[in-house]
Amino acid sequence: MRIGITCYPTYGGSGVVATELGLELAARGHDVHFISYAVPVRMTEVSERLHFHEVEVVNYPLFDHPPYALALATKMHNVALSESLDLLHVHYAIPHSVSAYLARAMVKSRRLPFVTTLHGTDITLVGSDRSYLPITRFSIEESDGVTAISEYLRQVTIREFGIQRPIELIPNFVNCDVFQPADGECRRHEFAREGEAVLVHLSNFRPVKRVRDVIEIFHRVRREIPAKLLMIGDGPDRTSAEWLAREKGLAGDVIFLGKQNQVQKLLNCADVLLLPSELESFGLAALEGMACGVPPVCSRVGGLPEVIDDGVEGYLVPPGDVDTMAARALEIASDRQRRQAMGQAARQRALRQFCSNKIIPLYEALYERVLSQNGVPPLPSVRG
Ligand code: GMT
């Protein structure tokens, strides 16, 4: 198939999932065309089946707010025609599914179906804001296929938006060959001395991630055992977290690494992953850690209970309860056997349920259904 994928190309989880999906689809013989304003960050591979089309937004003094959604719709339309796309798959409803709706309407010569994947804040925060709710609901209803990345998000969407059409659950996934426990090769020695525990946090440092809680948790752990904390990612709350770490006298033990590409090489060094978010519709970072054999300590919110079996593969704790999170993290980090048993259980869970080889066929089956419902037989790929 020839598939156009649109996502936010930055470090948000939806962009990561969309990019990994594109890479996997290309590896399985599909032609994948990313359509966005920048090259997706995890699109590090080059292949004849992977293409990128940049959306350029023309600015003009009249435009206080350049109309990205329109530039995107135009680019989708153009690429669909020039590359004979079979369908569009947009990640994050706003504004991508609206742009896809316009592109579909603009392609007059044939049907150009589009699939929308809902990721989280497009429903729980931005989409449910009254200024966006009607158009988000409209574009979901108008999509030819809709998926949600957890049952939690599926239910919230149906409830909050009153959606009548079917929404399919296709959970997030991880490439379990890339994200796997370290076999000797590990960057741990770059950050921690022998005998020090390594805790890790990975996010876009937005308020919903509660990054100050990460520091609070680490502070409590650090009082009990020698440890280092790796903070991977960047975003608006980084400065405040850095400030708090200094205030607590932890500056030498908390290492802010900023945005990183090969996160698996950092995750697989850690003893515990901390994700104390206010809300996570899935919690991709927790899954990436689990695939690397690292037990996560997370908030019991949103879709996280669908990913982690509490007490077996990691721990789920009410959001904001930093004392309990610290106690759980300490329990794992200070007991080698416990850490290994939980890490193995976490890896097994990822292998059982969330590896890309299990999930990508679900997307392929959905594409085929959408195409046949629209009377569009998938075109044979140009390159065979
Ligand atoms: O976490 C964010 O703020 C980014 C956001 C996104 O859409 O880029 O992440 C959401 O999608 C991820 C990938 O599907 C999920 O793993 C995250 O749980 C979800 N974030 C929230 O629900 C807050």
Give residue-wise pLDDT tens across range 309-346: 999 999 999 999 999 999 999 999 999 999 999 999 99
Task: Determine the pLDDT at residue 129.
Answer: 79
Using one digit for the tens of pLDDT, what is the confidence trace for 153-163?
A: 999 999 999 99
Task: Determine the pLDDT at residue 185.
Answer: 67
275 with 329, same domain? yes
Q: Is 46's pLDDT higher than 80?
A: no
Task: Determine the pLDDT at residue 379.
Answer: 52
Average pLDDT, the chain: 93
Q: From the CB of 117, is ligand 1 less than 6 Å away?
A: no
Q: Is the model more confident about 316 or about 262?
A: 316
CA distance 84 to 81: 5
Q: How many domains does the chain have?
A: 2
Using one digit for the tens of pLDDT, what is the confidence trace for 55-73?
A: 999 888 888 889 999 999 9
Q: Which residues contact 57 (CB under 8 A, 6 or more apart)?
A: 37, 66, 67, 68, 71
Task: Determine the pLDDT at residue 383.
Answer: 41
Using one digit for the tens of pLDDT, what is the confidence trace for 193-215?
A: 999 999 999 999 999 999 999 99
Residue 122 alpha carbon, nearest atom of ligand 1: 7
CA distance 110 to 81: 10
118 with 220, same domain? no
37 within some domain: yes
Residue 53 parent element (H or E): strand 50-54
Nearest to 316 by CA among 329, 270, 54: 329
324 with 362, same domain? no
380 within some domain: no
Q: From the CB of 299, is ligand 1 less than 6 Å away?
A: no
Q: From the CB of 206, is ligand 1 less than 6 Å away?
A: yes
Task: Judge whether 302 and 318 are in contact, CB under 8 Å.
Answer: no
Nearest to 363 by CA among 75, 146, 57, 139: 146
Using one digit for the tens of pLDDT, what is the confidence trace for 83-99?
A: 999 999 999 999 999 99
Task: Determine the pLDDT at residue 377.
Answer: 63
CA of 283 to the centre of ligand 1 (A): 7
Return the best residue to mutate from 16, 147, 282 for the ligand 1 pocket (most ligand atoms within 8 A of CB): 282
CB atoms within 10 A of CB 310: 14
379 within some domain: no
CA of 307 to the centre of ligand 1 (A): 14
> CATH number for the domain including 337?
3.40.50.2000
Q: Is 22's pLDDT higher than 90?
A: yes
183 within some domain: no
Residue 284 alpha carbon, nearest atom of ligand 1: 16
Task: Determine the pLDDT at residue 43.
Answer: 84
Using one digit for the tens of pLDDT, what is the confidence trace for 122-153?
A: 888 776 778 889 999 999 999 999 999 999 99
Task: Determine the pLDDT at residue 384.
Answer: 34
Q: Give the chain's count of helices (H) and strands (E).
A: 15, 13
Q: Stretch 17-41: mean pLDDT, rounded?
A: 95
pLDDT confidence bin for 102, thresholds 50/70/90 = very high
Residue 292 parent element (H or E): none
Q: Is 74's pLDDT higher than 50?
A: yes
Residue 302 alpha carbon, nearest atom of ligand 1: 22
Enclosing domain of residue 68: 2-173+356-374
CA of 371 to the centre of ligand 1 (A): 28
